[in-house]
Amino acid sequence: MLRYNPPLRDMQFLLEDLLNAGQLAELPGYEDASLDTLKAVIEEGGKLARDVILPTNGPGDIEGCQYDAETKEVKTPKGYIEAYKAFVEGGWPAMSAPVEHGGQGLPHLLKFVLDEMICSTNMAFGMYPGLSHGAVTALHHHADKELQDRFLPNLISGEWTGTMCLTEPQCGTDLRLIRTKAEPNSDGSYDITGTKIWITGGEHDLADNIVHLVLAKLPGAPESTKGISMFIVPKFIPESGERNAAFCGGLEHKMGIKGSATCVMNFEGAKGWLVGEANKGMSYMFTMMNGARLMVGMQGLGIAEAAWQIALDFSKERLQSRALSGPKHPELAADPIHVHPDVRRMLLQQKVINEGCRALAYWVGMNLDISHAHPDEKQREAADDIVQLLTPVVKAFLTDEGYTNANWAVQVLGGSGFTTDWGVEQLVRDARIARIYEGTNGIQALDLIGRKLSIKGGKLIKRFFAIVQGYLKENEGADYSSELGDLLAQLQDATMWVAANGMKDPDQAGAAATPYLRLMAYTAIGFMWHQMNAVARKKAEAAPDDVFYQAKIKSAKFYFEKATLEASSLIADIKSGKEALMAHSIDELSAS
Ligand SMILES: Cc1cc2nc3c(=O)[nH]c(=O)nc-3n(C[C@H](O)[C@H](O)[C@H](O)COP(=O)(O)OP(=O)(O)OC[C@H]3O[C@@H](n4cnc5c(N)ncnc54)[C@H](O)[C@@H]3O)c2cc1C
């Protein structure tokens, strides 16, 4: 059975002591976002997650969604409707949505915190409001006022949900291959025809209407991604209530997130309206996807946190063998397993990576808010550079590590992890998809190395280097400054290598992409752990008995002395180049 307590102390430490998130209230539009407000909202969100959403998780995994082939409708698992109702009534869908359409306009950072808690308690459930938020973002930025007025208020209130319809049987990563067509009508609407697959929340029973954002091609559109347009296609036409010809053709059977309806969607001449300009759909979809990628990163962290909490509890309860250094609890039949160094290794890997990932994500979240709301254009640009650079890192690293950490939890639990009683095997299954959708993690690495490094002549990565270098200069001789300096030097070395070799031969850049992303993650998270250690040491002077600060100090040691050891193999991997990867012919690869 899953169990969960929101890690409020860590969240508050990051917001208050590490990031000084109270400063957000000084930005225009965020005046209400005082630290006290942020804390109160997080506490309420934690209660909702633990008390309302968590109970739906295990049963929802067993029951899954049900498809009725006659009505083409989908039933979500028991308890989802009530949980979604509570979510809507609490105003949660509106939290970070634009005020002019009925949103509360609170910082995006707060949504990062909420997303983690929801995904710790039921990632499948979190997909429904998650996709809606993406649709709101895309429409807010790109739709004209008429479309915004028709669709945004109900999406923001949560009375309707949204989807993102890109994937088709013949195209996943490569969206140039889209075949869905849009034929213009004389009244300004379009008839949308085509089949989309794997559409999250394409059909369900949680909301009165479902608003699909569909990528399709207009007649005569260019063959490339520059020929793709975005259309808004509601299940029911808002004004008339008429059922539109957008039907679910069936549900996918899948490894995890079974409570999330993953639908085949058939658009049979469905009525739609063009969002923004023709042929700009891909760039509009990226507005939605960038936010969605950060959210998916939080899914990875959310699952990892839930798995860690179970592993920790189990390690205190399970009695096996005696500590190598002699019994620690002679009054018991055996010692609890957390006394064993090998179990400690697994527990600490989870704790320290999770806390580091949380700090990194919140830092990016702060920058996202600054990039939207700061009155000074230079500050906005600087913050946006960090968000752009680190979005693929947050998506890929947090989901890779989320999956790895859920697996560590299974290992800590032994046979009890593989069987279903404690629920961690479900977490492994649920976590797996986050490495695949919203652009696979391989594609995130290519985005980082192929696009983000070259934007504005390398300005993004130079900005990151300057921030960490400046910080190290101010903290010369501090704990772990030399370790963080080494990580930074390796990343700079790797960046030079990629610049020198990747330009001449794109396969070299492709070969370096994944280890490069991981090296950047270790460096960025090292930057976070360095600061967390410094803050915790200072706080510990006034509160020497507070175990929270002692834990942070000791966790920083684990991060720099153990967790980052992979970094030196990453730089070796990058520099060994593509040869060993690309040497086989396909016949040689198949030879066995
Ligand atoms: C549960 C679930 C929910 C989903 N929800 C949605 C949704 O709501 N809306 C939607 O539109 N889609 C959705 N998807 C689809 C998802 O976004 C795609 O699965 C994903 O983009 C990858 O596409 P693909 O599966 O076709 O893999 P492919 O594109 O076929 O890729 C297969 C492998 O090849 C690699 N690869 C492909 N191209 C390259 C390249 N150029 N360079 C290096 N490696 C490459 C990939 O990284 C991957 O490892 C969902 C999928 C699932 C399973």
Of the residues 74, 166, 198, which should be mutated to test ligand 1's pocket, given the most ligand atoms within 8 Å of the CB? 198
Of the residues 211, 286, 432, 437, which should be mutated to test ligand 1's pocket, given the most ligand atoms within 8 Å of the CB? 437
The answer to whether residues 141 and 165 belong to one domain is: no
The answer to whether residues 55 and 178 belong to one domain is: no
pLDDT tens across the length of the chain (592 residues): 678 999 999 999 999 999 999 999 999 999 999 999 999 999 999 999 999 999 999 999 999 999 999 999 999 999 999 999 999 999 999 999 999 999 999 999 999 999 999 999 999 999 999 999 999 999 999 999 999 999 999 999 999 999 999 999 999 999 999 999 999 999 999 999 999 999 999 999 999 999 999 999 999 999 888 999 999 999 999 999 999 999 999 999 999 999 999 999 999 999 999 999 999 999 999 888 888 999 999 999 999 999 999 999 999 999 999 999 999 999 999 999 999 999 999 999 999 999 999 999 999 999 999 999 999 999 999 999 999 999 999 999 999 999 999 999 999 999 999 999 999 999 999 999 999 999 999 999 999 999 999 998 999 999 999 999 999 999 999 999 999 999 999 999 999 999 999 989 999 999 999 999 999 999 999 999 999 999 999 999 999 999 999 999 999 999 999 999 999 899 999 999 999 999 999 999 999 9
Of all protein residues, the one whose alpha carbon is nearest to atom 50 of ligand 1 is 198
The answer to whether residues 141 and 171 belong to one domain is: no
401 counts as catalytic: no
CA of 402 to the centre of ligand 1 (A): 19
The verdict on residue 364 lying in a domain is no
Strand partners, 74: 67
The verdict on residue 314 lying in a domain is no
φ and ψ at residue 428, rounded to 5 degrees = -60, -45
Cα(532)–Cα(13) distance, rounded to whole angstroms? 9
Query: 444 CB less than 6 Å from ligand 1?
Result: no
The answer to whether residues 16 and 131 belong to one domain is: yes
- Looking from the CA of residue 260, the nearest atom of ligand 1 is 1
Query: Which pTM does this prediction carry?
Result: 0.97
- Strand extents, DSSP E, 375-423: none
- Strand extents, DSSP E, 115-186: 160-165, 181-184
Furthest C-alpha separation in the chain:
84
Angle at 16 between CA 377 and CA 32, to 5 degrees: 60
The answer to whether residues 132 and 205 belong to one domain is: no
Query: 308 CB less than 6 Å from ligand 1?
Result: no
CA of 436 to the centre of ligand 1 (A): 6
Query: b or e along 58-95 (b: 16 or more beta carbons within 10 Å of the residue's beta carbon)?
Result: eebbebbbebeeeeeebbbbebbbebbeebbebebbbb
CA of 293 to the centre of ligand 1 (A): 13
The verdict on residue 466 lying in a domain is yes
Boundary of a domain, candidates 123, 148, 173:
148
The answer to whether residues 110 and 228 belong to one domain is: no
Count: domains in the chain: 3
CA of 502 to the centre of ligand 1 (A): 24
Of all protein residues, the one whose alpha carbon is nearest to atom 14 of ligand 1 is 198
Q: How far is CA 161 from CA 133, 232, 237, 284, in A?
A: 9, 12, 14, 19
The answer to whether residues 211 and 121 belong to one domain is: no
CA of 254 to the centre of ligand 1 (A): 14
The answer to whether residues 516 and 537 belong to one domain is: yes
Tell me the CATH number at 252: 2.40.110.20
Boundary of a domain, candidates 90, 120, 148:
148
The residues near 113 (Cβ < 8 Å, ≥ 6 apart) are: 11, 15, 42, 45, 362
The verdict on residue 411 lying in a domain is no
Which amino acid, residue 206? L
The verdict on residue 370 lying in a domain is no
CB-based burial label for 194 (10 Å; 0-12, 13-18, 19+): buried
Contact 405, 349 (CB under 8 A): yes
The verdict on residue 64 lying in a domain is yes
Of all protein residues, the one whose alpha carbon is nearest to atom 51 of ligand 1 is 198
Query: 170 CB less than 6 Å from ligand 1?
Result: no
The verdict on residue 472 lying in a domain is yes
Query: 195 CB less than 6 Å from ligand 1?
Result: no
Boundary of a domain, candidates 260, 280, 300:
280
- Domain range for residue 167? 161-280
The answer to whether residues 121 and 234 belong to one domain is: no
CB-based burial label for 1 (10 Å; 0-12, 13-18, 19+): exposed
Cα(269)–Cα(194) distance, rounded to whole angstroms? 8
The answer to whether residues 62 and 144 belong to one domain is: yes
Query: 198 CB less than 6 Å from ligand 1?
Result: yes
The answer to whether residues 139 and 266 belong to one domain is: no
The verdict on residue 302 lying in a domain is no
Distance, first Cα to last Cα, the chain = 44
